[in-house]
Structure 1
Amino acid sequence: MRFRYVYQKVVDLKSNEKTQAEWMLSAAVGILQAEQYSLEQLVEERSRTHAAIQNEMENKASMIKLQELQRYMDYLETCITRKIGDVQRAEVNVDQKKTILTTKMLDEKVWLKARDKAKEKFQQEMLLREQNELDEMATVRFAMRAR
């Protein structure tokens, strides 16, 4: 007789939920990395623009060119500020997904432990049955020899 856990479908469901939570966390981490990369690109662009302004000032460039570069610099600052907010939201999202994954992992662990205990109990009962059958066979043999 094989062990068959009554709540195996619940265990499978909990495992699937954990897997989905892992995927969601992975996606959230991917979004966070993309936001961080985008922020790095904006910061690098700001540095290049700042260097261009310095270069134009040294070369006695036209005021219009300097104003254009300054407006672009202001635009980059605004973009960086927004992107910092995006990164912070992505970090919060990652933290939430971690919490969800932790909860799902705990749920799965509880159900796996319950299944393991049920399996142990089943195995103990099977051993007891086998032992009782062997004892009964030995008793019958002893009784037949005693006649």
Structure 2
Amino acid sequence: MIRVVGYSFRFQKLMDLKEREKEDSKTKYSESLGFLNREMQELEGLTQSLQQWEEKRVELERQATPIQRLLEIHSYIQHLENLIVKKHEKVHEAEKKTECLHLELSEKMRDFQVWEKWKEKTYKEYQDEMMQREQKEMDELAIQRFVRRGGT
């Protein structure tokens, strides 16, 4: 960030607003990514649990297990399958939201970069102008010294 005594960017307040918007967008995107990761981990946990219960059911079917116990396990497996379907939907929604927030963040970053480049350009122009003024003053001083000495 350019901050120089004597130089003032006319649109600094607008640029500060753009920077806050970019930072807010980063925060939202980061939170969305965290939520998506948690949802995916929960889905993975449910899937592993389903696999374990199915293996247990197969094992119990081979043994002399009461039918009531097998029905309970089957019912629980169906419950897990329903949870997995719902979790897939939540993961899909979280992915869509995260993608939208990523696009928004990209837009905010590009917008801020445009303003930042413009500020750098105006600062460079300011520096060039100050150097020209300084050179002009030095030239005038040199001319005055030359004239005072008699011009020869």
Q: Please state which band the TM-score falls in when normalised by the shorter chain.
A: over 0.9
Give the corresponding residue for 1:49: 53
Please, which runs of 5 or more residues in structure 2 have no aligned partner? none
1:85-143 deviations in whole A, cap 9, x for unaligned? 11111111111111010000001100000100110010011001001111111111111
Match of 1:130 among 111, 119, 134: 134
Give the corresponding residue for 1:4: 8
Match of 2:143 among 105, 128, 139: 139
What's the TM-score once normalised by structure 2's chain length?
0.92
Report how many residues are paired: 147
CA drift of 1:145 comes to 1.6
Distance 2:142 2:48 in 1: 86
Q: Given the alignment of the two structures, is residue 70 of structure 1 paired with residue 74 of structure 2, yes or no?
A: yes
1:1-23 deviations in whole A, cap 9, x for unaligned? 62111111112111111111111
CA drift of 1:32 comes to 0.4
Structure with the largest fraction of helix: 1
What's the TM-score once normalised by structure 1's chain length?
0.95
Percent identical among aligned pairs is: 31
Paired letter, 1:24 = K
Give the corresponding residue for 2:63: 59
Distance 2:145 2:43 in 1: 85
Give the corresponding residue for 1:96: 100
Paired letter, 1:76 = L
Distance 2:148 2:49 in 1: 98
Structure 1 residue runs of 4 or more that deviate by more than 4 Å after TM superposition? none
Distance 2:148 2:47 in 1: 95
Distance 1:10 1:127 in 2: 28
Match of 2:116 among 112, 115, 120: 112
Paired letter, 2:136 = N
